[in-house]
Structure 1
Amino acid sequence: MKETITILSMVLLTINTFAQMPHWSWAKSAGGASWDLGYSVSTDASGNVYMTGRFNISTITFGTTTLTNAGDYDIFIVKYDAAGNVLWAKSAGGTSSDVGTCVSTDASGNVLMTGSFQSPAITFGTTTLTSVGYGDIFIVKFDATGNILWAKSAGGIESDLSISISTDANGNVFMTGGFFSPTINFGTTTLTNANNSGNYYDIFIAKYDVTGNVVWAKSAGGISYDEGVNVSTDASGNAYMTGYFQSSNITFGTTTLTNANYQNIFIVKYDASGNVLWAKSAGGTSYDYSNSVSTNASDNVYMTGCFFSPTITFGTTTLTNAGDYDIFIVKYDATGNVLWAKSAGGVYGDIGKSVSSDASGNVYMTGSFSSPTITFGTTTLTNTSPDFPDSSDIFIIKYDASGNVLWAKSAGGASSDEGLSMSADASGDVYITGYFNSNTITFGTTTLTNANNTGDTYDIFIAKLKQANIYGSVFNDISNDCVNDSNETGLSRRNLLINPGNMIMQTYSDGTWTLDSLPAGNYSITADTSGSWKRTCPLSQNFTVIAPDSVTSAPSFGFISTETCPQPNVSINMPFIRRCFNNQNVYVNACNENIATGTLNNAYILVQLDSLLSVQSSTLSYLDLGDNTFRFDIGNLNPGQCQNFSIACSLSCNALLGQTLCMSANLFPADSCVFDTIPDIPTGVSLCTLPWDKSSLKVEASCISDTTGDKAVRFVIYNIGEPGDGDMKCHSPVRLYVDGVLTKVDSVKLNGGDSTIFVYSGDGRTYRLETDQHPLHPGNSHPNASIELCGGTMNWQPGLITALPEDDADPIVDIYCGAVRGSYDPNDKAGYPTGVDSTNNLYPNQALEYLIRFQNTGTDTAFTVVIRDTLDTDLDIFTVQSGASSHTYTFRLYGQRILEWTFNNILLPDSNKNEPGSHGFVSFRAEQNKNLPNNTLIKNTAGIYFDFNDPVLTNVTVHTVNDGVKKISTGTKVNPVPKSKNNVVKIYPNPFHSSTVIKINGLLGGYSKTIDCKIYNLLGKEVTTLCKLGRKGDEYIIERGGLKSGVYFYRVSGTNINSANGMMVVE
């Protein structure tokens, strides 16, 4: 049962000293069926972010810019704004392999990029660089708009690599890497390889001024492999370089470092003139790597990498390896003293790849871990890949200045994914790039898909991790004490509401939620209590924000599962219905909602289509049950898992424009725990106060002909409860609507298995008969049936079937009724039920279902479509359920009641090139706030964003709350068809196995020589005629024949017999 919100107590929480909690703000991918990587990322003072790397695919697209490969690997550089929009993208390359390895920005907003090229020549803007050996170094400077200011190269006769670049406060540029050539020239400076044979790399570092002139260049190395891997600068213009050396010793200035065994780490500090101020080494008896170095505002230095040695020592701190490669991070002061050192790792290879610091002295690290789990501080990250140790996940960590872990996050899929570079901006937001080998990878609510989708190639990713000032959590409170213990995990996608402001929060995968800021003041926060969960904390709690830029921890909410229960939900829709057209899709979406506490096992869906629709194909296999009913088996659905499919149909040319076609989807199995909400009290009828009598009512409608050929509207109300055990103990109201107007009120009281009939003259108007279940009947069923066009078109008003709600308030059933249409506005919104009269009146407490349709009417393919809908304040934000759609989307609630659907990589063609493929839609459902007063207006509109264009605004839907919909009108007349008293019908045995007997008492005129006995299934469709005359005049035998086990209805008619109906069970 849904819980009424009551404030039990108030908890006041104020500012604390906890760190800002991060969330993934956005994530983007690029790539194709090849090996494409993002190597480096950097931010500027304006909050923009730059990425460079390589691409091997023939073309690669960033935003709306497509780059074309000239040969093997080509270089790319991309600029994004803070929101993830591509501002520009450039490429360069020749006939061979060319790679961008590092990008950096200066204080003027210019961008520096470095890397290497093996092509004979490579062009940047109007500058062509020519290789003098196997592989040369390049360095390029762009302005903020992507124009090339200058480009330089360096190299010898062999392979030379530039791996890292950094700028100082004056715009000077430092570059490091390794050179294989016997000599290499930087400007007028020639560096000589210490091995002098061209068989090993030596280290170089070079400084350029703002115009690209070489200021100085230095080298270091021995007789083995030695390489500079990363460089960084401080506020004083000093440069720090790190890397590795395999030579027995290596000298920087006057300092000689000695290798402890095989491969050791070094870090060196140079002043602005290139003088070595200090040099340090670290390493053990095996392979140890340093991959990144960064400085902070206090001129402290951070370094990260990995070590394979059993132990490694930094200063007086010795770190111990836990398995394969382990991660290290070290902090030095400006004079080279070790302030602290930390390690992390599991049984397999775990690597620190990049380190960055922010203006507050915090430090961030990213890399990858192949171990099943890895622990940073008190946070344990779990590898999502089952393929240990051959696959890896990405990690990102934040430390404070003292080396304490503030938070740790991970991302990954089923294969190898790696974070290669990161950068923190002035706001403390963090950007990360790298590659993903998995078919899909998820950053928060954004899932990126590998373009090759086989896990055989790499795609590029870039993601933003935003840190917010206000945060909280929702957790699984196993201990039932409203305290989030270390073993109690977060609950994802839980909704909370902050007031004042009507701010909707939704928890991330780890159960946390964040908000950038709030004005100073006092606030309340309320949690959604849907599902089989019991709260362990007050439902509404209070907190105070001292200042907009302060860090505030809001109250946490604990929930504990009350039972194992799935939360099934199904949606069906046919957004475009056009007569005589083929391949018109019916879309079905079935989910076990995220709030579920159990798996929906062996699930299947029964889809019933209008008789005018014919199935042509389906994206999911099905079983045709006859009568236009189809079964789709979808297997097991875990909490949060969905199954989507579509059914391509043709619509008969016999359909009339404006005629309403209905279709339904029923999701099975339905556990009793699913029906957890007491229905609303019917209006204007005395409430039955007895316990539920196990009755269950169902209404069916048909258009029949009498003996003269005149049409009649026939409604049958069935009690499908068990005979005896399901007999009604109270009367239920019956309401007849004609053309949307309540015209007649009656009541029924039926025994289990019995039925009653209402018949009215068919005159073409739209008739609707509805009744109410017992008030304690499980779920929210409101039985009704409608029919139009019975008796011709003379009195027909199209669209009235959708004016009142269908019997689909329970989550396991959905009914969609839509009109046959011709041309239409391609970007529109509709709300169902549409409502009665010109003011679109609808019942109080009636749920609304919305359909948003869109079409790309532009001149090119749309890569991304985003729909934003601000929910009316008179609708309950906690009841929003996203439903069927044309394309895969991600959905979130955020801000001031904003609903957002994002269709990433939708590739929606423009209508000029592919009109049928240019359409799309999404649907959702929301309930009214309880007991809204009459004349409350519920308005809604949506904005549809195609790529980076201004939004296309839909029409505004308007509904008026009016309980007068259930008040009878005296102005509308109906003509009931006279009928005699029903015969008394008994059936025995019931249930039966092979045959049963129908006994009819009260025959008019006695013995009946002719008998018509028809059998119907639960969907009201005739199965067969199986009756034959019995040995006595009032008894008739029903043979089972080919009937399968289940529940059926029968109807008996014939000479001297008024129609008699009932239910029977075949065992």
Structure 2
Amino acid sequence: MKTIQLIKILLLVIWGYGNTYGQIIDRTYEIPGALDAPNVSGCNLVADGSFIVAGFETNARGFLLKVDSIGDLVWRKMFVNKHLIGDPEPTNDGGFIAQTRAYSSSSMGLVGDFFLTKFDSLGNIEYEIVDSLQGVYKNISTSIYYEKNNKVHLSYIYDELDVNSNLVLSNKVHQYTTSSGGMIGSLIDTLAVTYPTGGSYGNTFNRATNYLSWYFKDSKVLLNDGRIASIVNFERWLGSGGTTPVYNMAFCVVDSFGQIETFKYQNYIPIVGDAITYGIAETGDGGFVMVGENAQGNFLLKLDSDGDPIWMKPIASHVGLPPRLGVLDNGNIVCGQNVYDYQGNYLNPLRLNVAQRGMHVGSKAVYLAKSNGVDSIRIFIDGTLGKIYLDTIVGNIYRDLNLDCSKNGLEEGMKGIKVQAIGNLNFIAMTDSLGNYSMLVDSGTYTVSAVLPSLYWGSCPPSMTVSTNALHTTNVVNFGLQTLFECPIMTVDIGAPFIRATGGGSAYTISYCNNGTVDAINGTVEVELDPNLNVLSTTIPIASQVGNTYTFNIGNVAMNDCGSFRMQVVIDSSVAISLPISQTFCTQAHIYPDSICIPNYWNGPIIEVDATCLVDTVEFLLENVGAPMIQSLQYYVYEDNVMFRTGNTTVLGNGGTELILEPALPGKTYRIDVKQAPGFPPLLGDSMATIAIEGCNPLPNGTFNTGFITQFSNDNGGVFVAQDCQMGIAAYDPNDKAAQPEGYGSANHIYDYTKLDYRIRFQNTGNDTAFVVVVRDTISPFLDPATIQMGASSHPYTWNLSGQGVLEVTFNNIMLPDSNINEPASHGFFHYEIEQTTNNPIGSIINNTAAIYFDFNPPIFTNTTTHTVGENFVTINLSIGEIYEETVAIKVFPNPFSSVTTIQVEGEEYECLKLRVFDVTGRLVTTTQVHFDNKIELLKGNIQTGVYFYQLEGDGKLINTGKIIAQ
């Protein structure tokens, strides 16, 4: 029976320099046909941000894996009778070189021979150079380096010294080649002994005298000025027959010509007894830090630029492979499983109880770890005090058809279901095609639950509490999703990468899903196109058209299934010539069926709004399509981004309407917000019905103000309705991230209940077709990843959530042409909507940046979108007030006020004055009234600092509205 062994690779990313918490991508990779456990012997970063992993099995097979920066396996290569040794080195042509060792005789060499093997970017062997030096110590003294001038250095070093550390005999084996494999040079080594060219390997090793020296992989560091600093380990053989080893070390620096600048033997360094050094790294002050061990245990040793000791600190002991060493960009030292500051003081463990081996490249430290018999790779990016999460919660989410809370053979797993673990830290995962999920978590207690697709589903159990109080614990938590209501529930989204007048590529994608419990029958989508856009083509037939509303039949949509279609549009030519490029285009999609099957789900009013331009007047139409109102609702009118009018609607019955007219000043944008009744359910829409219109009364030159529509939320219709509002563009950054609403003012203020709709755009500006595009988006901690709703996109994609909110969107086989070949088709995009974390503090700043990977190239980072959670941020024009009686004058003083303000009526006498005060959300704050008095005094009392609106009535008749500020 064929055995499949597994190799586990963990990618850990730690952000920041404080008490940060890492994200792990935990993947398991098969080594097909393995007869024993695989061994990772090395890894390295390559230019595209991915990793080449080398290793072998003891059954004489070697392997190479390429793993991209987000943990996906790119390719895997197996090699019979060949072990891969050490870290592969990237080359300029996108390939890499590695040391290999033969396990069978061939025309190239004998059993045990070492090779310099050149691989292309796909892991195929291009050529090999055999090193036929024989000797029992050959396998302990290899090092390989690649220079950017296409030189490859491969060396085996055997140096003999006398008891006074004088060089007696140097038997170095060194070769360097061109990238095509030709031998062109000779050794320039740490001890500056050279050998003839022409392929000569020098003398053979003679173990007749006292010392043997060798390097570990980390024993050299190339300095910025071309010098090489290294540490050399000396093995002295004593006793009868030279059988007892004694270990010492030295520090050496040579210049770029191989001339020794510094050579300091162990006597100059405060190390007691035998010592072996494993690695050296350059520090920011021009000095060095090295790691080693002696009889007292492991140590860190800090040297100045001349190799003189500054400090020496004992560190946590390691077992197994030597600990690898790295210096992070902030000066902290990562060694093995621990982090130390610049002075060698212990900061924090990385919560690993395994031996580690790693490398350091730039700001990344890569570790190879032997953990429970499984090899691992861990990657640290700019991390100092980060935690590695090794406890696991796994399980399966299935459709519980017989409602017994137990999965049987006929009940299938459900894909794409989010699972969240809520504790001191929150984690999230998604189920795969079989319904399985896995998430790494910190030690602690968590409430684990499935995020239900819709209100028509229940979960058994609703949640489970698990504790992970020790490393490497695994908790299994399964959930059965049960039907509560047999009904489809359709969702829809619409989006386009951009809207432009020329150049093509302005295409709306309309995507839809059925999150209900049964199939949707005879589904349709109505698209109300912006009146300034024309349809060029559609990917499915147009069933009917009435004005600028297009109807599409989408047929039956299965439960837990999705679909999409596209509409190619263009700005009307007359509009493109006469109006601003940056005008806003709004297009809406409405999906059917749009009914809700839950009895008595909402028995309140539902307000819908519309806007019409009547030459120099904006007409706002309010309609109640729900149950009759019990009381009037508050509304607000904006001019550009200034709130200048507020009022109450009439009490509307079912089907009742109200017109609100607003004179339109030249160039202005107008918006109305109508607050829905208290308790209005999110499934039906936003808590505020809103609509905006720009350019109703243009300026004399035909232009008008733009950019105000997208500052505010335009969400109205819940899951059944979606709207895309975006400004027309000309030139732009092709790889960017945008959010709606954009936010108010320079700080991009939003309320703490505002949802965000992100759009990420990308374009292939390379010189060849892109086959795979991956977008990685780390969600802000002020956003709730459990609420993500994926939306429209230019191309089909798959997506995944992991860690504390890492969104990964993959476009496989996208075949995105480069912009030089087909500019309109070189673009792509996708949408997603997300809600804020509950109770975000005022002042919270929500930043978001995405990384875009084209094939295996380095990532392109988008701009950073920023929003600030705020209150009372809308500008209110206090000079604007409404007086509804011509004979009345109103005075408000002082305003702003800190303790009391007075509202005084002049010109008329009233038996009763009543004052109502509302906050900016329309909530009634206080009511006060007086009899037979012409003024009302309002005490600040419990009124919080902020802007408020008031209504003043005289004898039951509205006489004045205005604004006041409490300080």
- Tell me the TM-score normalized by structure 2: 0.51
- After TM superposition, list the pairs within 5 Å mapping 1:613-1012 onto structure 2: 613-653=533-573, 654-655=575-576, 656-673=580-597, 692-693=603-604, 695-705=605-615, 711-720=616-625, 726-746=627-647, 747-763=649-665, 764-775=667-678, 779-781=684-686, 782-793=688-699, 796-964=704-872, 969-971=877-879
1:608 lines up with 2:528 in the alignment? yes
Equivalent pairs counted in the alignment come to 558
- Give the aligned partner of residue 275 of structure 2: none
Please tell me whether residue 474 in structure 1 is matched to residue 384 in structure 2.
no
Which SS does the other structure have where 1:878 is aligned? helix
Name the SS for the 1:748 alignment partner: coil
Q: Is the 8 A contact 1:866 1:903 kept in 2?
A: yes
Q: CA deviation at 1:930?
A: 2.9
TM superposition shift of 1:715: 1.2
The one-letter amino acid paired with 2:691 is A
CA distance in 2, matches of 1:514, 1:862: 31
CA contact (8 A) 1:543 1:555 kept: no
| Compared CA separation, residues 908 and 79, structure 1 to 2 (3 A) | farther
Contact map agreement 1:524 1:543 (CA 8 A) in 2: no
Query: Residues of 2 paired with 1:26 and 1:676: CA distance?
Result: 51
Shift of 1:577: 1.2
Secondary structure in 1 matching 2:825: helix
Distance 1:639 1:925 in 2: 21
After superposition, the Cα gap between the structure-2 partners of 1:658 and 1:802, relative to the gap in structure 1 and judged at 3 Å, is same
Equivalent of 2:500 in 578, 584, 594: 578
Counterpart secondary structure, 2:718: coil
Asked whether the 8 Å contact 2:41–2:84 carries over to 1, the reply is no
- The 1:823/1:150 distance shift into structure 2, 3 A limit, reads closer
- Answering whether residue 531 of structure 2 is matched by residue 537 of structure 1, we say no
Q: Which residue of 1 aligns with 2:429?
A: 505
**How far apart are residue 489 of structure 1 and its match?**
4.7
After TM superposition, give the deviation of residue 109 of structure 1 in Å.
Answer: 8.1
Partner of 2:921: none
Q: How does 1:345-360 map to 2 (within 5 A)?
A: none
Distance 1:659 1:590 in 2: 28
Residue in 1 that maps onto 2:511: 589
The 2-side partners of 1:826 and 1:675 are apart by 48
**Corresponding residue of 2:938:** none
What is the CA distance between 1:652 and its match in structure 2? 2.0
**Deviation at 1:623?**
2.4
Contact 1:110 1:142 in 2 (8 A): no
Preserved CA contact (<8 Å) 1:829 1:957: yes
Aligned partners of 2:80 and 2:541: how far apart in 1? 50
User: 1:130-163 CA distances to partner (integer Å, 9 max, x unpaired)?
Assistant: 9xxxxxxxxx999474244599xxxxxxxxxxxx
Q: What per-residue deviation string (whole Å, max 9, x for no partner) do you get for residues 2-48 of structure 1?
A: xxxxxxxxxxxxxxxxxxxx9986899xxxxxxxxx99999963289
- How far off is 1:89 after superposition? 9.7
- AA aligned opposite 1:729: I
**d(CA) in 2 for partners of 1:950, 1:718:** 53
Counterpart in 2 of 1:80? 65
Structure 1 pair 41–788 and aligned structure 2 pair: CA distance change class (3 A) = farther
Q: Retained in 1: the 8 A contact 2:466–2:475?
A: no
Q: Name which of 408, 414, 419 aligns with 1:495.
A: 419
1:805 Cα deviation from its structure 2 partner:
1.5
SS of 2:710's equivalent?
helix
Distance (whole Å) between structure 2 residues aligned to residue 940 and residue 641 of structure 1: 29
Q: For the residues of structure 1 that align with 2:568 and 2:453, how far apart are their CA atoms?
A: 35
Shift of 1:511: 2.8
The 3 A distance-change label for structure 1 pair 45 and 734 is same
Measure how far apart 1:863 and its partner are: 1.8
Aligned partner of 1:562 in structure 2 is 484
Amino acid at match of 1:534: G
Structure 1 residue 647 displacement after superposition: 0.9
Against the structure 1 CA distance between its residues 543 and 472, is the aligned structure 2 distance closer, same or farther, given a 3 Å change threshold? farther
Is contact 2:430–2:800 with CA below 8 Å preserved after alignment? Answer: yes
Distance in 2 (CA, whole Å) between partners of 1:835 and 1:847 is 11
39, 58, 75: which is aligned to 1:45?
39
Q: Structure 1 residues 788, 23: CA separation in 2 closer, same or farther (over 3 Å shift)?
A: same
After superposition, the Cα gap between the structure-2 partners of 1:427 and 1:944, relative to the gap in structure 1 and judged at 3 Å, is: farther
Q: Could you list the per-position Cα deviations for residues 405-459 of structure 1 after superposition, in whole angstroms to 9, with x for gaps in the alignment? A: xxxxxxxxxxxxxxxxxxxx9988899xxxxxxxxxxxxxxxxxxxxxxxxxxxx
Alpha-carbon offset, residue 546 of structure 1: 2.0
**Counterpart Cα distance in 2 of 1:819 and 1:974:** 34
Contact kept, 8 Å, 2:67 with 2:73, in 1: the verdict is: no
| Whole-angstrom CA distance in 2 between matches of 1:829 and 1:958 | 11
Output one character per residue of 1:58-88: Cα deviation in whole Å (capped at 9) or x when no partner: xxxxx999xxxxxxxxxxx995325577889
**Aligned counterparts of 1:470 and 1:738: Cα–Cα separation in 2:** 52
User: SS state of the match for residue 578, structure 1?
Assistant: coil
Asked whether the 8 Å contact 1:849–1:926 carries over to 2, the reply is yes
Shift of 1:468: 9.4
Deviations 1:335-359 (A, max 9, x none): xxxxxxxxxxxxxxxxxxxxxxxxx
Q: CA deviation at 1:893?
A: 0.5
Distance in 1, Cα, partners of 2:748 & 2:83: 60
Contact between 1:474 and 1:559, CA under 8 Å: does it hold in 2?
Answer: yes
Q: Which runs of no fewer than 5 residues in structure 2 stay unpaired?
A: 1-24, 44-49, 53-61, 89-105, 108-113, 120-124, 131-138, 140-369, 377-389, 887-967
1:473-507 Cα distance to aligned partner (Å, 9 max, x none): 33445665655567655443232235444321112
For 1:546, the equivalent position in structure 2 comes to 470
Check if 1:106 corresponds to 2:83.
yes
Determine if contact 2:534/2:569 at 8 Å carries over to the other structure.
Answer: yes
Partner residue, 2:910: none
Could you say if the C-alpha distance between residues 487 and 908 of structure 1 is closer, same or farther in structure 2, counting changes exceeding 3 Å?
closer
Give the superposition deviation at 1:564. Answer: 1.4
Q: Report SS of the residue matched to 1:621.
A: coil
Q: 1:869 to 1:769 in 2, by over 3 A?
A: same
Contact 1:599–1:636 (8 Å) recurs in 2 = yes
Alignment partners' CA distance in 2, 1:619 and 1:662? 21
Per-residue CA shift, 1:746-798, capped at 9, x if unaligned?
A: 12222333322122222121111122333455622542221111111379431
Q: Which amino acid aligns with 2:610?
A: E
Structure 1: gaps spanning 5 or more residues: 1-21, 29-37, 50-62, 66-76, 91-100, 112-128, 131-139, 152-169, 171-424, 432-466, 679-691, 706-710, 979-1067
- 1:109–1:143 CA contact under 8 A, matched in 2: no
If the length of structure 1 is used for normalisation, what is the TM-score? 0.47
Q: Give the Cα separation in 2 of the matches to 1:660 and 1:47.
A: 57
Distance 1:650 1:27 in 2: 49
Partners of 2:819 and 2:432 lie apart in 1 by 37
In structure 2, distance between residues paired with 1:804 and 1:830: 14
Structure 1 residue 579 displacement after superposition: 2.2
Q: 1:668 to 1:427 in 2, by over 3 A?
A: farther
How far apart are the structure 2 equivalents of 1:753 and 1:26? 61
| Match of residue 346 from structure 2 | none
Match of 1:342 in 2: none
Deviation at 1:639, TM superposition (A): 2.3
SS of the residue 1:673 aligns to: coil
